[in-house]
Amino acid sequence: MTDSILSERRGAVAWLSLNRPQIHNAFDDALIAALTEALVAADAEPTVRAVVLTGNGSCFSAGADLNWMRGMAGASEQENREDSLRLARLMRTLQFLSKPTIARVNGAAYGGGVGLVACCDIAIGVDTAKFALSEVKLGLVPAVISPYVIAAIGLREARRLFITGEVFDAATAARIGLLHAVVSASELDEAIERQLYLLAKAGPLAQREAKQLALRIGGADPVHAERIDSVNAELIARLRVSPEGQHGLGAFLDKRAPAWVAAARNLP
């Protein structure tokens, strides 16, 4: 396993930690590949009964890494599409993992970090955590993670958060369904252990079938999800190389306001 992901076995549980605390566990292509590999390995191991996903340090994940974003801003539309498909495969792998998954949300989750939380079966977060789907502020959209976020929080809430890009707190995340429970930092591990205790009491075959039943009845199918991922990858690739996307990414990387912010201020 690469340094960007720490993998630890604790009895029958695989603990996977995003391990880039110096940059708030932000995604790059190496982390995406490593986490996908770790999830596939955990799913294939018969002695693993559950997977816990968390972040090392004070954040869960801040979304895209700045250097990775800078590289994608200068890449072709086809390269951006291929890059998006790799992230889509990670989300799809987590969503349809046969083992129960728990998001241990130890801090802020933005962008793709929200996607990871939404893909887990159970999500418990600290009361100080902040969340955002802020892609529109860059002239982009949360395309790849959208199916999972909408499934978690519902269409109405997703529409609002997708178009405002606003930051929201843990209490709001729980109210809209992104988190199942909110606890203090000192209570987080106890809350996770409680969920693992409940999971351990269930038959593993029945548990796997129950998860697939819920996904199937809810309309989530891996084949259909892969088709949606292809369409969404094309969308985000097109937006990244568009004039607005290039301007928004450039403004963000240069730490300045994009032109549309100033234009909006001048409106009556």
On average, the pLDDT of the chain sits at: 95
Average pLDDT (202-207) is 97
The two tokens of residue 69 are 């974003």
Per-residue pLDDT at 1 exceeds 60: no
Residue 118 phi/psi, 5-degree rounding, is -65, -30
Average pLDDT (17-37) is 96
Write the pLDDT tens digit of every residue in 209-222: 999 999 999 999 99
Write the pLDDT tens digit of every residue in 121-148: 999 999 999 999 999 999 999 999 999 9
Per-residue pLDDT at 261 exceeds 70: yes
Which residues have a Cβ under 8 Å from the Cβ of 11 and sit 6 or more positions away?
A: none
What is residue 264's predicted lDDT score, i.e. its pLDDT? Answer: 75
pTM for this structure? 0.96
Pairing between β-strand 101-105 and β-strand 122-126 as defined by DSSP bridges = parallel
Per-residue pLDDT at 70 exceeds 60: yes
